[in-house]
Amino acid sequence: MTSAQRLAQHIAALNLDLDQVARDKLLAYVALILKWNKVYNLTAIRDEMQAIDLHIADSLTLVPHVSEDRIADIGAGAGLPGIVLAICKPELQVELVDTVDKKCVFMRQAAGTLGLKNVSVHHVRVEKWQPSAPFPAISSRAFAELVDFVSWTDHLLAPGGRWLAMKGVYPSDEIARLPAGVRVSESIPLKVPGMDVERHLIILQKHS
């Protein structure tokens, strides 16, 4: 099976409507990650099929759950899930935030190479970041404990906005430690195609 066929299988399993341009960009993005990995050690994964399964398919599970027009992706690392969102949703403005300079350099290079005009990258500690406007959605993938995620990004969330935290097993303990005023509005089990792993999307909102 080719990498294009593997990706097509995952897209079909997730019932996503992605054109050939998006599919080609996703494959080109994987190639960039693997190329830069040789020098920058962006991710532990070195195999193309593994990268499609563990990084791209996993990030694709978030796509159907993002309905906003702007999103901040925190602790974006190599751009997962933010760059995947930007490829799949060209109308979505994606701001990628990470504290590691080499990862930001890679994300800028990837966005430029892939022609993603809807991406901007910020090398900054998220709690010190002061964007021009708050965000209707803030995402993270295996970034930090929920209480840290919401406290570090509280100043970035627009009224009525949502935190979208991609987690593995259901994080009962983390949810129990959430601050007063933050609640789980939805918990969605995510099925990563071709993988027998537990994943959850925890959607958090403020309440008075």
Q: Could you tell me if 134 and 128 are in contact, meaning their C-beta atoms sit under 8 angstroms apart?
A: no
127 assigned to a ligand binding site? yes
Q: Is the confidence at residue 41, as pLDDT, over 80?
A: no
pLDDT for the residue numbered 113? 98
pLDDT for the residue numbered 42? 76
105 assigned to a ligand binding site? no
pLDDT for the residue numbered 46? 77
146 assigned to a ligand binding site? no
First and final C-alpha spacing in the chain:
52
Inter-axis angle of helices 20-40 and 3-13, to 10 degrees?
A: 120
Neighbours of 104 (CB within 10 A): 20
Tokens found for residue 76: 């974006």
Confidence of residue 195 (pLDDT cuts 50, 70, 90): confident
Closest residue by Cα to residue 72 from 145, 134, 125: 134
Exposed/middle/buried for residue 208 (C-beta within 10 Å: 0-12, 13-18, 19+): exposed
Q: For strand 199-206 and strand 70-74, is the pairing parallel, antiparallel, or unpaired?
A: unpaired
Q: How many domains does the chain have?
A: 1
Closest residue by Cα to residue 180 from 154, 141, 144: 154
Choose between 64 and 47: higher pLDDT.
64
Choose between 38 and 80: higher pLDDT.
80
Q: Which residues constitute the domain of residue 138?
A: 3-206
* Mean model confidence pLDDT for the chain: 95
- Taking each continuous run of H as one helix and of E as one strand, the counts in the chain are 8, 7
pLDDT for the residue numbered 44? 74
pLDDT digits (tens, 9 = 90+) for 173-183: 999 999 999 99
Average pLDDT score over residue span 24-41: 92
Strands, sheet with 119-123, edge to edge from the N-terminal-most edge strand: 119-123, 93-98, 70-74, 135-141, 157-167, 199-206, 182-190
Q: Could you tell me if 84 and 23 are in contact, meaning their C-beta atoms sit under 8 angstroms apart?
A: no
126 assigned to a ligand binding site? yes
Average pLDDT score over residue span 189-199: 91
* CATH code where residue 88 lies: 3.40.50.150
80 assigned to a ligand binding site? yes
